[in-house]
Structure 1
Amino acid sequence: MDSHTTLCLLVVALGLLPHGEAILGGQEAEPHSRPYMASIQVQEGEAMKHECGGFVVAPQWVMTAVHCMPTGANGRKVVLGLHSLSQPEDTQQVFDILELHNHPDYSNRNHENDIALIKLDRPFNASEAVRAVEFLRAGGVNPDTDATVDTAGWGSVDNLGSRPDTLHELQVEVVSARRCARGDYFGSKFTGNMMCAHRLCTPPACTLPFRTMDTCDGDSGGPLLYGGVVVGITSNGGKKCGQLKKPGIYTIISHYTQWIDSKLLATPSST
């Protein structure tokens, strides 16, 4: 849910915080080693502030989570090719949001169908720092229980909302769907369109009160990758990050191939 000097991808709310997950227990990513990463930013005073993550899936398209912008773009911008949120970088490209497509069956109650597509105001300029990533389609194989997956974001590093300046990344492990659907985990709020993942937290990566390495506030909308292919979208988790029985929850992308294609292929990209 709604995502870092050494941190634990924190987990946000099924309760739920409006803007997604963060990273607790990971480490800073090599600059521009994840050229598909996007920062969705909102105006705060005279500056722009990172709010949610996303990832590039086509020359003019970014995938993210509905709960990042449930009521529309409202002047937000998308920044590609960045590592630091505060330092100027020649690699950065800034875009207005031309179209926002939130899944029509999104549920605010449990973040079911938490998948959205952003059409940028123009295609990006491909470079070593900006490039689309492959995502799993219908018929593809999703990771099994205990499989190692990885994620990244600029989200909170603790439950006080402390945010990193640079992109952080983390490896986590898939938790069984049966466990996440138990009453002491997420119960009926966890559905077949979701997978959950975290990793037990060991010092010095993270210390009490954090029990797990996971995603948190600010990481929402970012990618969960398996073998370099995006299989999930960071969606939600517990009311506090790093709880043992509240792993991060991720929308399973391959369940939405038809809807994704209906948007990406509906209209030609601008030239």
Structure 2
Amino acid sequence: MDTKGGRGETPPWDIPHLLQSLDLDVPALAVGIPGRTLESTGDQDDNCVLTAAHRKKLKYTVHLGDHSLQNKDGSEQETAVAQSIPHPCYNSSNEDHNRDLMLIRLCGRASLGPKVKPINLADHCPQVGQKCTISSWSSVTSPQEVKIIPQKQCEDAYPGQVTDSMVCANESSGTDTCQGDSRVSLVCGGVLQGITSWGSDLYGRPERSGVYTNICHYLDWIKTMGRKG
């Protein structure tokens, strides 16, 4: 499959860390709450999920092992959420996107296997020019290839809004997650480097990149919260 410059359907369950989350207040599959990233925190790596804090809801369930939003094969797992833990310094009352990160603890442990696997956290920050993959939900999981861009380039695109705790990615061909996509994770070299936070309606133009919470800045907090479950 060629993921450069466009979309293509992923081979079934080729992104086993991408989860689907559904609001309990509406019929299943009636809303497009973004997929979550099953994240490995050590001892609790089978019941912790990472997402953006701005996605916090009062109620939701999590579906694991989904490949398509429409077609099911009976092997999917469903679990309720025990606790949602936004970063304590995240401020949801304004347009400050800093610390846009939340850990979700599941009520039960995931049954890990070929279709459901945790993704490892990066132990270093992503490098400019590094090729990464962004995963999103449409009708099927659709990965796209992007590159990490210089921080200065991102700051110029979004004056006064980008901080060191954010990382930006885009592709010169115009590929990036777009408004309306249930977009979620930035994976570089097989490890989680970013969670989609914000960006412009002009996604897909090189000067307007996707902005991600830079996971390497929050490793201690993630691991501490993950071990408390």
One-letter identity of the residue aligned with 1:101: I
Contact 2:36 2:50 in 1 (8 A): yes
Select 2:194's aligned residue among 218, 225, 232: 232
One-letter identity of the residue aligned with 1:177: Q
The corresponding residue for 1:175 is 149
Describe the superposition over 1:7-28 as per-residue Cα deviations: whole angstroms up to 9, x where unpaired: 99xxxxxxxxxxxxxxx82321
SS at match of 2:225: helix
Q: Give runs of aligned pairs for residues 25-64 of structure 1, distance below 5 A.
A: 25-43=6-24, 45-48=26-29, 49-57=31-39, 58-64=45-51
TM-score, scaled relative to structure 1: 0.75
The corresponding residue for 2:42 is none
The corresponding residue for 1:255 is 217
Contact 1:64 1:233 in 2 (8 A): yes
Sort the Cα spacing of 1:99 and 1:27 in 2 relative to 1 into closer, same or farther, 3 A.
Answer: same
Equivalent pairs: percent with the same residue? 26
Stretches of 4+ aligned residues off by more than 6 angstroms: none
1:121 equivalenced with 2:104 (yes/no): no
Alpha-carbon shift at residue 127 of structure 1 (Å): 1.4
| RMSD over equivalenced CA pairs, Å | 2.0
One-letter identity of the residue aligned with 2:228: A
Aligned length: 219
TM-score, scaled relative to structure 2: 0.88
Sort the Cα spacing of 1:242 and 1:43 in 2 relative to 1 into closer, same or farther, 3 A.
Answer: farther
One-letter identity of the residue aligned with 2:82: L
The corresponding residue for 1:151 is 134
1:189 equivalenced with 2:171 (yes/no): no
SS at match of 2:100: coil
1:266 equivalenced with 2:228 (yes/no): yes
One-letter identity of the residue aligned with 1:131: K
Select 1:66's aligned residue among 53, 66, 70: 53
Alpha-carbon shift at residue 88 of structure 1 (Å): 1.8
One-letter identity of the residue aligned with 1:120: L
1:106 equivalenced with 2:94 (yes/no): no
Alpha-carbon shift at residue 42 of structure 1 (Å): 1.9
Alpha-carbon shift at residue 111 of structure 1 (Å): 1.4
Contact 1:219 1:234 in 2 (8 A): no
Find the aligned partners of 2:73 and 2:50 in 1 and give their Cα distance.
23
One-letter identity of the residue aligned with 1:165: S
Alpha-carbon shift at residue 113 of structure 1 (Å): 0.7
